[in-house]
Chains A and B, each alone.
Chain A
Amino acid sequence: MADAALQVRHLVKRYGPLVAVAGVSFDVARGEIFGILGPNGAGKTTTLEMIEGLRRPDEGTAVVDGVDVRTDPRGVRARIGVQLQEAGFFERLTVEETLTLFGSFHRRAAPAGTIIDRLQLGEKRRAWAGTLSGGQRQRLSIAVALVNDPPIMFLDEPTTGLDPQARRNLWEIIAGFRREGRTVVLTTHYMEEAERLCDRVAIMDHGRIVALDAPRALIREHTPGTTVAVTISGGDAALERLPGVRHVQHENGEALLSSTDPIQTVHALMDLNRQGDLHFHRLRVEEATLEDVFLHLTGRRLRE
Chain B
Amino acid sequence: MRAFAITVLLFFKHYFRDRSSVFWGMIFPLLLMILIGLAFGRGENISFPVGLIDEGGGPVTQGLRQGLAQVAVFRLTEEENRSTALDALRRGRRTLVVIVPRFGSGEPIRVYYDQARVQDSRTALIILERFIAEANLRLAGVQPVLKVEATGVAAARQVRFFDFLLPGILAMTVMNSGLNGLTWVITEYRQRLVLKRVLATPVHPLVFLGGLITRYAATNLVQLAVIVLVAVFVFHATVVGSFWVLAGLALVGTLVFVGMGIAISTVSRTPESANLFGSALSFPMMFLAGTFWPREFMPAFLQPVISLLPLTPLVEVMRAVAARGEGVGPYLAGLLYLAGWGVIAFILAAWRFKWE
Q: Which residues of A contact B (CB under 8 A)?
A: 52, 54, 74-75, 77-78, 82, 84, 86-90, 92-93, 97, 100-102, 104-107, 128, 144, 148
Take A100-B10, A128-B17 as given contacts and tell me if A106 and B202 are in contact as well, using a CB distance cutoff of 8 Å: yes
Contact B6 A100 (CB under 8 A): yes
Residue of B nearest to A73 (CB): B202
A107 to B202, CA, bound (A): 8
Contact A101 B200 (CB under 8 A): no
Across the A-B interface, the 10 shortest Cβ-Cβ residue pairs: A88-B192, A105-B203, A105-B201, A78-B202, A104-B6, A92-B17, A87-B197, A82-B200, A87-B193, A104-B3
Contact A88 B202 (CB under 8 A): no
Contact B202 A92 (CB under 8 A): no
Nearest CB in chain A: distance from B355 CB, A: 9
Take A86-B193, A87-B196, A97-B10 as given contacts and tell me if A77 and B17 are in contact as well, using a CB distance cutoff of 8 Å: no
Highest count of chain A CB atoms <10 Å: which of B193, B196, B202, B208 = B202
Nearest CB in chain B: distance from A47 CB, A: 15
Nearest CB in chain A: distance from B353 CB, A: 16
* Interface residue B2 (Cβ < 8 Å from any Cβ of A): yes
Name 16 interchain pairs, CB-CB below 8 A, sorted by A: A52-B200, A54-B196, A77-B202, A84-B197, A84-B200, A86-B193, A87-B192, A87-B196, A88-B189, A90-B189, A92-B13, A92-B18, A93-B13, A100-B10, A104-B6, A148-B201
Q: Which of A78, A84, A90, A100 contacts B196 (CB 8 A)?
A: A84
Contact B13 A97 (CB under 8 A): yes
Nearest CB in chain A: distance from B270 CB, A: 14
User: Which residues of B1-49 are within 8 A (CB) of A?
Assistant: 2-3, 5-7, 10-11, 13-14, 17-18
A54 to B193, CA, bound (A): 12
A84 to B355, CA, bound (A): 14
Take A88-B194, A101-B7 as given contacts and tell me if A93 and B202 are in contact as well, using a CB distance cutoff of 8 Å: no
* Interface residue B137 (Cβ < 8 Å from any Cβ of A): no
Q: Which of B14, B199, B203 contacts A90 (CB 8 A)?
A: B14
* Interface residue B198 (Cβ < 8 Å from any Cβ of A): yes
Q: Which chain B residues lie closer than 8 Å to A78 at the CB level?
A: 202
A77 to B11, CA, bound (A): 23
Q: Which chain B residues lie closer than 8 Å to A84 at the CB level?
A: 193, 196-197, 200
Contact A77 B200 (CB under 8 A): yes
Q: Which of B7, B189, B192, B194 contacts A104 (CB 8 A)?
A: B7
Nearest CB in chain A: distance from B261 CB, A: 18
Q: Which chain B residues lie closer than 8 Å to A82 at the CB level?
A: 200-201
Take A54-B200, A78-B202, A92-B14 as given contacts and tell me if A101 and B6 are in contact as well, using a CB distance cutoff of 8 Å: yes
